[in-house]
Structure formats: structure tokens, C-alpha cells
């Protein structure tokens, strides 16, 4: 028995030895499998991080790979392991040679080259002077919006990458004085100038913003926000320790047109567009709300227009929607200019006249072949001889003025009338005379809608009506012209030579829908190549030589300009990348109008501005490959 037990023990020991070796082999295999899985996961995370927003690249426990050092007014990239200084690209850009402000200020600027940490909740507001309670309330709301943008930056930091040497955040007291207009609205005569003085006071910072209007002070908030940035390596906000900025715009009208008739855009996309406009100090949202394709604006004064003209119940802007958009824009220093185009560019929205006992409100609605009656389908234009048309227009105009609060500026539309259409229905009168007559009667309807007085400036699109001999018959004291034709067309220049106040939207520079081919099988009439941001930026038509004319007309009366985003080939989801950052290039051209073109400094600053837009939720298109951002000036 003892021998058997010893033999059995030796057998068991041998068996357990084999089991132990097997177990060790399994452990080794399991470890190898885990290592391989970890490597695959790590590589997948690297791939995913390549497609994450730039500010999120450092939101993990992975040590930073790069450091940027300012050499010869340029941020140069180094491996973090090869330099004793660990500095992020945003911080290097802010502290190196460029101002990083967009649009570039027009007055003196002095910026410190040192930064201190701050937090959004450590900013406080003190209004030291205000001309009205409305201005005071608007300043408080606009300040809260600036703080909200800072909180968004803070939330994007995430992660646990922190510099050990970061100081405690400073308190920032923002003191604002508005000495001027008590009206919070953007007006034609609004003084948008402002001054900023940022300085350290003990262990805190004090910012003094002075302006002559709420809109000017709001621009001051915008510039102040651009002196604050997220340092992804520190995981906190930084602000320049000191700064002075004196600033005012070159042009008073700085606009962006959005067409919501060809394709409908949800209210959220409009609000985000206005946010981006405010970040670039544009001041006019030109809302081309209706056209022959649809009439999505539901008006209490004429509900039939949307009932017969909207694409459907989900593609309608209600009066409350408009009020919300107007309020959103006003707090950002932006007016909402709603255009209901007439007498052409109308469609089924105006087809209900006969059933309502009003006769034909429009002719040639969806006439075929469309190419004989209009530039794109469907066709249609108002009946200039039906008095009910002008009664309806008066009601529409009055409600638009009430909804927007804009009564010093109005847009009547007024382009691309088909002479053939009116000739078929009124063969006793020259169609051009009918067009001139319609414009005069529409203007009278606008005056009645506006309390018996004409707006200070009423805009018309450039057209055959703004050529000789009809141009000379228009009252230049009432009408201004939005010039959409090519800057090289003689008729575009004729408007300026005639002394009309003008808003420039030249198709060869500032039409953002160009360059995507024709959507019409039977036509190649769509505008030509894509307008790059450089082309937008470098367009300065007002620098051309002004001809010798009468003494009182020796200067062209250019109020400013607007980029136009027509939407035949654009829908929800694609708006941001189509418009931005090209509209930002227009914004600096109209604000600062710097003499040089797209110099190296412009590329770097616009790239930084794009990052600000991304941080605010605007999906702006990239200027170039990210490598060019990581290596400033290397791609020029």
C-alpha cells in the first residue's frame, strides 16, 4: 500500500507539473492576446483622435506630443521630448507676433505677451454708465452670452492633462460705459466704435469698455472674448495680462444674405449662422425669405401666402419664430432685414386671389416653357394693375416692420421682371413703364406701412430698372441699390456714378453659391467658378478711380456690402461649411478694409478665427490640411 501511495504521489506530482506548465502557457497566451488587443485599441483611438476637434486632442491622459516655440515672429513645432518648454499651439499663436483678433481693429492696438489663467465664473460685470434701461438690460444679457462661450471652452478641456506651474485663476471685473444712443437696435446711424483697456490690478484684472451704443459695447465684449483662449495643455482658460484696443468699422452695412425659399432651413441653423456673424462683427442678416419656389413665412396679416406657398407645415416660420430670431440677433448687434421679393420671384403663394374675390394677384405662375418667362423655374410675377396687390403688400410690410423693429431700412426686392409676361397681359403699356409704376406704388405702400414716412433707405436689387433712362427717374434720396451684377459690368458702376447709396454684392466675388455647376438640365447659366475666401477678402471695388462728376457726387456712396448664399443646391446640414470661413473674410474686408490682400498674417488669424467658430458649434470648413495649422506660415 505504501509503495502504491508513493507511486501514486509521484504520478500526481507529475500530472500537476504538467498542469502547471499548461497553466503558465495559457497565462502567457492570454497576456499576449491582451497586449495585442490593447495595441489594436490604442491604434484605433489614434485614428479616431485624428478626426476629433483640435481642442479635444489633448483631453486624455496621453502626454502631449508637440510643443510650439515662437522664433522670429513664427510659432515653430518641436517634439515635446526635445524641448524644455511645453507650450500649446493656441498659446504660442496668442503670444507670438500676430494679434489673432478678427476682424483686425482699425485703431491702435497694444497687446501684452504674457497671459494669466481665468475662469468664466470669475468674470463680473459693472455697468458704470448707460443711457437707458433697455441698454442696461441688453448689456447684462450680452455679457452672459460671452460668459456662456467661455464655459463652452472650459467644458471642452475635459481630461487630466495639466501643467504643474499653472497659477490660480484671476478675478476679472468688466466695467462698461455707454455714452450715446439709448436704442439697442442696429440702425443706419449707429456708432459701432468702442475702446477696451485691460490691465492687472493687484491679483485681479480690470477691463474698461467704453462705447457710444449698445452695439459698440457688444463688439467690445466680442473682442474681449478673443483675448481669452483655452490652453489644452493647462486645461484652463488664459487671458492676455494687458491690452488696449481702439476700434470702429470702415463700413456701416456688413451683411450676409440667406435664401430660405429655394430650400427651407430650420430655425436652429439660422440662429447658429447669426452666432457666427456676431463672432465676426457682421451686423445685417439679410433674410431672403420668399421666392417663386416657396413662401415659408406665416404672417397674421396674410396667412394665405404661407398656406398656398410653403412646402409643408414643417417648413414654415411663425411670427414667434421671427421674434425669437430677431431677439437673438439684436443681443449680438445684428439687424434682421427681411426681404419679400416683388414684383417678380413670386409663385403659387399669390394664386388664391380669384377664389378670395381679389382677382388675379399674379400672372404667369408656373408658365411653360419656363425659360421664356424667368431665369429659373417656376415663374410668376405680381399683377401691377390689381389694387389689391398693393393693399396686401402694405399689410405684409407693416407686419415685417413690427416683427423686426427695423423701420429705417427696408428691402423691396425688385429684380428680374419678365417683360414678356406683362406684355401678354398688358399690351397697351411698355412693360418697363409698368415696372417703374409698380415700384412707385410699392414704395407708397411701404410709407403707409411705416407710419406715413419712408424709411431712411429703401433698397432695390440692381436690374434693368436701375439702368438709364429709368435710373435717373428713381429718387436717390429714398432708394438705394444692392448691386449684384459683376463689378466689371458698366451698369454696376453706373449706379455708383449716379450717386445712389449702394450695398455691393458682386456676383464675381461675393456670391457664395457659385462654383457648384448647373442644376438645370437645359441651362448652363449658373454663375462661374467657386469664390475662395482669398477672392472674397481681396475684393475692394471702392478703390477704383471715381470719375469726375458733379461736385455733390464726387464720392461713391458705398454703404458696405453683403455676401449672398442662394440655396438652389444647398440644404440643412451643409450651410456652415458653405458659408464659413468665407463670410468671415468678408467681415474683415468690410470692417477693417486693410490695404493689403491675404497676407501671411491673415491666414494665421483666420485659422484661429475658424477654431473659435468650431468651439461655438459652427462647422466651418478648413482652410487647409491640419499640418499647415501645426506649422504656421509653412504652407504660404
Catalytic residue among 55, 345, 411, 506: 345
Of 154, 402, 416, 447, the active-site residue reads: 416
Going through 341-478 in order, the beta strands assigned E by DSSP cover 362-363, 381-382, 409-411, 457-461
CB distance 486 to 464 below 8 Å: no
Which DSSP string corresponds to 495-526? HHHTT-EEEE--HHHHBTTTTS--S-TT---S
Compute how many other C-beta atoms are within 10 angstroms of the C-beta atom of residue 397.
Answer: 23
Closest CA to 580 of 87, 8, 102: 102
- Catalytic annotation present for 539: no
Q: Which residues pair with 421 in a beta bridge?
A: none
Give the separation between CA 222 and CA 591, rounded to whole angstroms: 14
Q: Does 456 participate in catalysis according to the annotation?
A: no
| Closest-CA residue to 300 (of 172, 389, 378, 392) | 392
Distance CA 497, CA 549 (A): 8
Instruction: Report which DSSP code applies to 121.
Output: E
Catalytic residue among 149, 247, 275, 291: 291
Q: Kindly give, in sequence order, each residue whose CB lies less than 8 Å from that of residue 272, ignoring residues fewer than 6 positions away.
A: 576, 617, 618
Calpha distance 227→237 (Å, rounded): 10
Angle at 193 between CA 182 and CA 119, to 5 degrees: 90
* Residue 33: how many other CB atoms lie within 10 Å: 10
| 8 Å CB contact between 285 and 331 | no
Question: Are the C-beta atoms of residues 599 and 98 closer than 8 Å to each other?
Answer: no
CB of 446 within 8 A of CB of 411?
no
Known catalytic residue: 416?
Answer: yes
Burial of 333 by CB count in 10 Å (0-12 exposed, 13-18 middle, 19+ buried)? buried
- For the annotated catalytic residues, the residue numbers are 291, 345, 416
Amino acid at each position: 500500500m505504501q509503495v502504491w501511495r508513493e507511486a501514486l504521489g509521484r504520478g500526481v506530482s507529475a500530472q500537476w507539473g504538467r498542469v502547471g506548465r499548461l497553466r503558465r502557457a495559457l497565462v502567457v497566451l492570454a497576456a499576449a492576446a491582451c497586449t495585442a488587443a490593447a495595441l489594436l485599441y490604442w491604434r484605433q483611438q489614434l485614428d479616431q483622435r485624428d478626426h476629433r476637434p483640435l481642442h479635444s486632442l489633448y483631453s486624455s491622459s496621453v502626454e502631449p506630443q508637440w510643443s510650439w516655440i515662437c522664433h522670429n515672429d513664427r510659432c515653430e513645432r518641436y517634439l515635446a521630448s526635445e524641448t524644455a518648454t511645453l507650450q500649446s499651439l493656441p498659446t504660442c499663436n496668442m503670444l507670438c507676433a500676430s494679434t489673432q483678433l478678427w476682424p483686425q481693429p482699425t485703431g491702435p492696438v497694444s497687446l501684452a505677451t504674457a497671459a494669466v489663467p481665468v475662469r468664466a465664473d470669475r468674470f463680473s460685470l459693472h455697468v458704470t454708465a448707460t443711457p437707458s434701461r433697455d441698454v442696461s438690460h441688453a448689456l447684462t444679457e450680452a455679457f452672459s452670452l460671452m460668459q456662456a462661450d467661455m464655459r463652452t471652452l472650459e467644458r471642452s478641456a475635459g481630461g487630466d492633462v495639466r501643467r504643474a506651474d499653472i497659477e490660480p485663476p484671476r478675478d476679472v471685473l468688466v466695467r462698461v460705459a455707454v455714452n450715446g444712443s439709448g436704442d439697442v437696435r442696429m440702425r443706419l446711424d449707429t456708432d459701432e466704435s468702442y475702446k477696451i483697456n485691460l490691465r492687472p490690478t493687484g491679483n485681479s484684472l480690470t477691463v474698461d469698455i467704453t462705447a457710444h451704443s449698445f452695439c459698440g459695447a457688444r463688439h467690445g465684449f466680442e473682442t474681449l472674448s478673443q483675448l481669452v483662449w483655452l490652453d489644452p495643455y493647462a486645461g484652463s482658460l488664459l487671458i492676455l495680462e494687458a491690452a488696449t484696443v481702439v476700434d470702429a468699422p470702415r463700413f456701416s452695412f456688413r451683411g450676409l444674405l440667406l435664401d430660405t425659399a429655394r430650400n427651407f432651413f430650420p430655425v436652429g441653423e439660422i440662429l447658429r449662422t447669426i452666432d457666427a456673424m456676431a463672432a465676426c462683427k457682421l451686423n445685417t442678416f439679410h433674410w431672403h425669405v420668399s421666392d417663386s419656389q416657396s413662401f415659408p413665412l406665416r404672417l397674421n396679416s396674410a396667412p394665405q401666402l404661407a398656406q398656398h406657398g410653403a412646402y409643408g407645415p414643417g417648413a414654415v416660420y411663425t411670427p414667434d419664430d421671427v421674434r425669437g430670431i430677431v431677439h437673438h440677433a439684436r443681443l449680438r448687434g445684428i439687424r434682421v432685414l427681411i426681404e419679400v421679393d416683388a414684383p417678380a420671384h413670386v409663385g403659387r403663394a399669390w394664386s388664391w386671389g380669384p377664389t378670395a374675390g381679389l382677382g388675379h394677384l399674379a400672372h404667369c405662375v408656373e408658365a411653360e416653357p419656363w425659360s421664356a418667362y424667368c431665369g429659373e423655374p417656376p415663374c410668376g410675377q405680381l399683377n401691377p394693375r390689381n389694387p389689391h396687390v398693393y393693399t396686401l403688400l402694405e399689410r405684409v410690410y407693416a407686419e415685417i416692420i413690427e416683427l423686426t423693429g427695423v423701420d429705417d431700412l427696408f428691402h423691396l426686392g425688385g429684380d428680374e421682371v419678365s417683360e414678356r409676361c406683362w406684355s401678354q397681359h398688358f399690351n397697351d403699356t411698355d412693360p418697363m413703364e409698368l415696372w417703374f409704376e409698380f415700384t412707385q406704388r410699392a414704395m407708397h405702400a411701404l410709407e403707409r406701412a411705416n407710419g406715413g414716412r419712408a424709411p431712411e433707405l429703401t433698397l432695390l436689387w440692381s436690374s434693368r430698372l436701375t439702368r438709364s433712362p429709368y435710373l435717373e427717374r428713381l429718387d436717390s434720396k429714398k432708394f438705394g441699390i444692392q448691386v449684384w451684377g459683376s463689378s466689371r459690368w458698366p451698369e454696376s458702376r453706373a449706379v455708383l456714378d449716379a450717386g445712389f447709396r449702394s450695398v455691393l454684392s458682386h456676383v464675381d466675388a461675393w456670391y457664395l453659391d457659385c462654383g457648384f455647376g448647373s442644376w438645370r438640365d437645359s441651362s448652363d447659366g449658373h454663375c462661374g467658378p467657386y469664390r475662395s475666401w482669398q477672392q472674397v477678402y481681396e475684393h475692394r471695388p471702392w478703390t477704383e478711380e471715381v470719375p469726375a462728376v458733379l461736385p455733390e457726387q464726387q464720392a461713391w456712396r458705398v454703404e458696405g456690402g453683403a455676401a449672398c448664399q442662394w440655396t438652389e443646391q444647398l440644404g440643412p446640414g451643409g450651410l456652415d461649411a458653405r458659408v464659413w470661413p468665407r463670410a468671415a473674410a468678408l467681415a474683415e474686408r468690410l470692417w477693417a478694409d486693410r490695404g493689403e490682400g491675404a497676407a501671411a498674417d491673415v491666414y494665421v488669424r483666420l485659422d484661429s478665427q475658424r477654431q473659435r467658430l468650431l468651439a461655438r458649434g459652427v462647422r466651418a470648413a478648413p482652410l487647409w490640411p491640419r499640418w499647415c495649422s501645426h506649422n504656421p506660415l509653412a504652407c504660404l
